[in-house]
Amino acid sequence: MTNSIFGVVYHENVNNWATAGLINAIKAKGHTPMPFRLPDIAAQIPNKFTHLNEEDISHIDGVLVRTIGFGTGDQVTYRISLLEHLEDAGIYVMNPAYSFRRAKDKYATLTALNKAGIQVPRTFIGENLEAAINFADEVGDVIIKPLIGARGMGMIRAEHKELTYRAMKFIHQLGQVLYVQELVQKPDRDIRAFVIGGKLIGAMYRYIPKGVEGEWRTNVHGGGEAEATELTPEYEECALKTAEVL
């Protein structure tokens, strides 16, 4: 078996359980992992890539993207373009850069799913504060989210008009895009499905943390609990179609 070199893209902590799991899985298959952060990679035109301005990594066989991390608009754009450049240089990137770009941007995700006929919540996206407030007044119970984000961080549930106004005004003053979404009523859990290569490989319930008054998020990072489950045929079809679209 040929030994291949796979980059593992992390951001904050190489010893994070998810990053460490990928590294160990690569080793178990007899290949060589090369963990790195995208901010530490420099690109040149034509195709040359260096790590920390020293190690030439242009020869690696593939890249597994755990996360590109947080950053400014310029930084996020650069990191995704870097993944596209790696692909153009013949290096396999998983997930593909274009898919990552879509999934990272909630606006792009929703428009793609809506176009494909997949049901999504009513959502406002824009920079006009008055229009955002009018949308929230019409919908009622809404969630204010960052356009780009993860792990449930930065989300605000605005059930009351005054809270909605204050939160939106603050976000608007920071020069951020307003992303306001109707609250989807659900039990104390939601569902996350995992699709690889067009096949459903697993699914789980994510439960709201116990004993935390007023909490509505199910993110495991925020204390939510996970439990393996099986999907109904309807949900499995939805998961497979969503993965195909993105």
The pLDDT value given to residue 100: 84
Question: Could you read off the pLDDT of 211-232 as tens digits, one per residue?
Answer: 776 677 777 777 788 899 999 9
Please give the Cα distance from 138 to 126 (Å, whole number): 16
- Do 60 and 32 meet the contact criterion of CB atoms below 8 Å apart? no
Better-scored residue on pLDDT, 137 or 221: 137
Average pLDDT over residues 232-241: 96
Strand partners, 202: 194
Going by their DSSP bridges, the two strands 55-56 and 178-182 should be labelled as unpaired
Question: Could you read off the pLDDT of 3-21 as tens digits, one per residue?
Answer: 899 999 998 889 988 899 9
Question: Could you read off the pLDDT of 144-185 as tens digits, one per residue?
Answer: 998 887 665 678 888 778 888 888 999 999 999 999 999 888
Is the pLDDT confidence value at 27 over 60? yes
Question: Could you read off the pLDDT of 46-86 as tens digits, one per residue?
Answer: 889 999 878 899 999 999 998 888 888 889 889 999 999 99
Tell me the pLDDT band of 132, cut-offs 50, 70 and 90: very high
Q: Which domains does the chain have, with CATH numbers?
A: 5-103 (3.40.50.20), 118-182 (3.30.1490.20), 189-237 (no CATH)
Is the pLDDT confidence value at 121 over 80? yes
The pLDDT value given to residue 173: 92
3-state secondary structure the chain: CCCCEEEEEECCCCCCHHHHHHHHHHHHCCCEEEEEEHHHEEEECCCEEEECCCEECCCCCEEEECCCCCCCHHHHHHHHHHHHHHHHCCCEEECCHHHHHHHHCHHHHHHHHHHCCCCCCCEEEECCHHHHHHHHHHHCCEEEECCCCCCCCCCEEECCHHHHHHHHHHHHHCCCCEEEEECCCCCCEEEEEEEECCEEEEEEEEECCCCCCCCCCCCHHHCCEEEEECCCHHHHHHHHHHHHHC
- Do 64 and 73 meet the contact criterion of CB atoms below 8 Å apart? no
From 97-101, 168-172, 191-195, 235-239, the region with the lowest mean pLDDT: 97-101
